[in-house]
Amino acid sequence: MPPKDRFKKISNNYGELFSEVFAVQGFNYEELEKSIFDTVSRIEPDLIGSSILDIGVGDGISIKPFVCIGCKKLIGIDLNQEMIDSTRTKFGDSISLFKMNATDMTRFKEGEFEIIISGATVHNIPKTERVKFWKEILRLKPKIFITADKIKDSDTTKHHLDYQSEIEAIKKIYGERHSLKEAKEEWLDHYKCDEKEALDINEISNNLGEKYKISTVFEMGLYKTIIALRK
Ligand SMILES: C[S@@+](CC[C@H](N)C(=O)[O-])C[C@H]1O[C@@H](n2cnc3c(N)ncnc32)[C@H](O)[C@@H]1O
């Protein structure tokens, strides 16, 4: 059984280094994360006044564009205190931050957020625990739920090619370019676990589909941005 905080081991070697993993494949990690903001800002007329929760705020890449336009009600949660501290250092009190598990957000009330965003987080929640997470999303009942995440493609050949490309990129960046042998091995273990615990669109549709209209709005390698709009 995977640990509750699967991201903890690799969190020290995330940020800039992980962006390099994208760059070496010809991708841009910030562009993936920004697809969340771009999509939401196209459909939500009052973004600045909306109450927005970022699940797995990490070091703030997903929420940054919302901070930049001056959104007034930004809340971020994360399981990992170091990631929260890093976001606080970058953004001060423009985001209210809480250490919290996405599978238990009982501190928040139904309807408290018009918009819930999440970047590269849901796939880190162990599959059996994710059932609780989807229930929490249904309970919180946002108008929009959007996630840019590692989401397994139904085309197995495409998935395999994208997976191999990212594994090679991890080896190149962590192993060769930065000589971080231990970090490289931790990431490779993390990816093996991701495969076993894979998140796919069926899981999202099965859990949210009755109440939400689900669509894919952006794709980059192993990652997709999925939006769920309340029916
Ligand atoms: C890959 S980072 C992404 C951070 C940020 N959203 C971004 O895109 O840069 C994933 C984050 O999810 C957090 N996380 C993982 N499982 C979580 C859970 N069950 N509840 C809350 N946060 C979680 C990790 O601590 C980590 O900060």
Q: What is the DSSP string of 41-53?
A: HHH-TTTTTSEEE
Answer yes or no: is the C-beta of 102 below 6 A from any ligand 1 atom.
Answer: yes
**Residue-level pLDDT at 10:** 65
* Residues 67/74, Cβ–Cβ less than 8 Å: yes
Range of the domain at 80: 8-230
Q: Which two tokens stand for residue 132?
A: 């609780």
181 inside domain: yes
2 inside domain: no
* Residues 125/102, Cβ–Cβ less than 8 Å: yes
* Vertex 65: Cα angle to 162 and 113 (nearest 5): 95
Q: Which two tokens stand for residue 179?
A: 């000589």
**Residue-level pLDDT at 15:** 74
pTM score of the predicted model: 0.95
- The whole-number mean pLDDT for each consecutive block of 10 residues of the chain, a chain of 231 residues, reads 63 79 95 97 93 95 96 96 92 96 98 97 95 98 98 97 97 92 92 94 98 98 98 97
Closest CA to 136 of 113, 170, 102, 181: 102
Neighbours of 45 (CB within 10 A): 9
202 inside domain: yes
Which residue among 4, 5, 7, 150 is best mutated to probe the pocket of ligand 1, counting the most ligand atoms within 8 A of its Cβ? 7
23 inside domain: yes
* Vertex 62: Cα angle to 37 and 39 (nearest 5): 20
* Residues 31/220, Cβ–Cβ less than 8 Å: yes
1 inside domain: no
**Residue-level pLDDT at 6:** 63
Answer yes or no: is the C-beta of 19 below 6 A from any ligand 1 atom.
Answer: no
**Residue-level pLDDT at 45:** 83
3 inside domain: no
105 inside domain: yes
Q: What's the CA-to-centroid distance between 123 and ligand 1, angstroms?
A: 9
198 inside domain: yes
Q: What is the domain count for the chain?
A: 1
Rounded Cα gap, residues 106 and 100, in angstroms: 10
Q: Which residue's C-alpha comes closest to atom 26 of ligand 1? A: 58
Domain with residue 141: its CATH number is 3.40.50.150
* Residues 211/143, Cβ–Cβ less than 8 Å: no
**Residue-level pLDDT at 4:** 64
H/E element, 154 = none
Answer yes or no: is the C-beta of 207 below 6 A from any ligand 1 atom.
Answer: no
